Amino acid sequence: MKVKKIPQRKCVGCNEMKDKKALLRIVRSPEGEISLDLTGKKNGRGAYVCPDKECIMKAVKEKRLERALEKPISEAVTKQLLEDLEHGQQ
């Protein structure tokens, strides 16, 4: 029996490799909209981040999320991401 490999992704906040399932995917759609991708299947460029406030804030503050998504991240977008996270939309 073949052991299924769990895909690994790097958190843009803490820079740690983790299981893809343990991370949140933030996606920039082809239209340029940035949102939490709860299914992991949305179209667009994705970046992975730990599902905790510190990592998201760090990724935004150090412009890592911005670089990963190739788009400036506004205050409103940051606020929306944190709100979605708080309301447990996983």
Q: Tell me the two tokens of residue 20.
A: 């893809």
Residues 13 and 56: beta-carbon distance below 8 Å? yes
Q: Mind listing the pLDDT tens digit for each residue in 30-75?
A: 999 999 998 889 999 999 999 999 999 999 999 999 999 999 999 9
- Its pTM stands at 0.87
Pairing of strands 24-28, 8-10: unpaired
Q: Say how many C-beta atoms besides its own lie within 10 A of residue 7's C-beta.
A: 9
What is the structure's pLDDT at 89? 52
Q: Measuring CA to CA, how many Å separate 83 from each of 15, 17, 29, 79?
A: 23, 25, 19, 6
